Structure 1
Amino acid sequence: MALQGVILDVDGTLVLSNDAHAQAWVDAFAAFGYEVPFEQVRPLIGMGGDQVIPQMVPGLTDEEGDGKAISERRKELIINHYGPKLEPANGSRQLILKMKDAGLKLIIASSATSQELEVLLKAAQVDDLLDEATTSSDAEASKPAPDIVEVALSKLQIEPNQVLMLGDTPYDIKSAAAAGVGVIAVRCGGFDDAQLAGAIAIYDDPADLLAHYADSPPNKTR
């Protein structure tokens, strides 16, 4: 069936923020006496804090105690320190404009909070183009659980087989697949092709996808 809508991830997809998120986790854990190496948390970026915290420190959760405080500290760092310094992924604005011109319905599906999302969309230079979003507050579990994608589908009111997701992590792919949605992946989030193997197509960044827009999604990765 014809494509009618696109679900958009933001971090690592529209804005080059994945390293900043990892460093914010390192800083936030350190503020409460926990040593978490950057290399350990970086592969988890794309998951929500409800998933990351217990993987880094078993026994902690983002709902109480140190885990909740760490989660809040990380959010503050993104909003006030790292977020304003971020750069858009190559071609983000141009790709969004192209999709809007094509008449596609667009919605954000992010594990970020609404406050973080405001900062991230501004950094991606698409804050004036996107106003429909599903965030961490809309779902019980973050990616790789399907909750956020399922809520996005509900808001779009489009069947899964008429929607694609644009993402950059294996967690986007797993989340979307569980909701019956195919994913076009971009490498600019820092994950390699093997990690993105479940995508129906893989491009370097939004600009690369835009350059091949007429024949996307292709039958094989580039």
Structure 2
Amino acid sequence: MSQKIKGLLLDIDGTLIDSNDAHAKAWQEALAEFDIHVKYEDVREKIGMGGDNLLPLVAQLHKEEGLGKKVDKRRVEIFKQDYLPHLQPFPYAQQLIELLHKAGLKIIAASSASKEDLGALLKKSGVEKYVDGATSSDDAERSKPAPDIIEAALQKGDLRPSMTLMVGDTPYDIAAAEKAGVQTIAFTCGGWKEKDLQGAVAVLSGPEELFTKLKQIPIEEIPEKLHAMARSAL
């Protein structure tokens, strides 16, 4: 009997919705309000991590303590007010997840975003109704590149790592998934180059390219095709 992928762990920022630049700007602006000035590039390259990892690296602050807690709170406010209303999903993001849902895959969002941010991003990306569950930085002690969020998503979906794929856009997605025994399909639409996404079983331009590839396959064969991708570095 052919083996099939049963579940999909889904990053949202930079994978389905064009939000990575916005997150970086919100962090930079929030830090500046507390007279902490960091280069945009230094923040941007760390988007995909949660604030628990990002803040110590760019500003030597801790997200849950003192000034770090204030910066994180202000970052949330700036992002929601100034950036979230203007974000757009990548082309064919909704169609891709709808197709995977129709193919019978269990879809679990697995994001380093906070629970509050993730809920809003799922709505903006148009995939909320196709997602069977979600794990965020609130569900894990450590965010990506630690495997905690991936492991929590596997547990929530009652999924085996070998029968599951991660779809993400950063090296942190790949590292977190690998530590949990899950293979990753990576997209470059989040701003990372193909050379930065080593370890993924496939590197594609974004949702549209994967949708185009899968749309050519009978829908009942999609889980088998994904399993084949997970077992060969395409």
TM-score interval, smaller chain: over 0.9
Instruction: Determine the structure 2 residue equivalent to 1:89.
Output: 90
Q: Deviations over 1:49-86 (max 9, x none)?
A: 0000010112x100111111111111112222211110
Three-state SS of the structure 1 residue aligned to 2:8 is strand
**Consecutive unaligned residues in structure 1, runs of 5 or more:** none
Instruction: Determine the structure 2 residue equivalent to 1:13.
Output: 15
Q: Does 1:202 align with 2:203?
A: yes
Give the deviation of 1:10 after TM superposition: 0.3
Contact 1:84 1:119 in 2 (8 A): no
Q: Does 1:105 align with 2:106?
A: yes
Give the deviation of 1:191 after TM superposition: 0.3
Q: Deviations over 1:148-177 (max 9, x none)?
A: 000000111121000000000000000000
User: How far apart, CA to CA, are the structure 1 residues paired with 2:161 and 2:130?
Assistant: 23
Three-state SS of the structure 1 residue aligned to 2:197 is coil
User: How far apart, CA to CA, are the structure 2 residues paired with 1:145 and 1:55?
Assistant: 15
Q: Deviations over 1:84-137 (max 9, x none)?
A: 110101211000110011000000001111211122112212233325100111
User: How far apart, CA to CA, are the structure 2 residues paired with 1:110 and 1:158?
Assistant: 17
Q: Give the counterpart letter for 1:67 in structure 2.
A: G
Instruction: Determine the structure 1 residue equivalent to 2:161.
Output: 160
Give the deviation of 1:220 after TM superposition: 4.6
1:120-131 alignment, distance < 5 Å:
120-131=121-132
Instruction: Determine the structure 2 residue equivalent to 1:22.
Output: 24
1:49-198 alignment, distance < 5 Å:
49-58=51-60, 60-198=61-199
TM-score by length of 1: 0.95
- Greater helix share, structure number: 2
TM-score by length of 2: 0.90
User: How far apart, CA to CA, are the structure 1 residues paired with 2:77 and 2:147?
Assistant: 26
How many residues were matched structurally? 220
Q: CA RMSD in A?
A: 1.3
Contact 2:200 2:233 in 1 (8 A): no
Contact 1:53 1:61 in 2 (8 A): yes
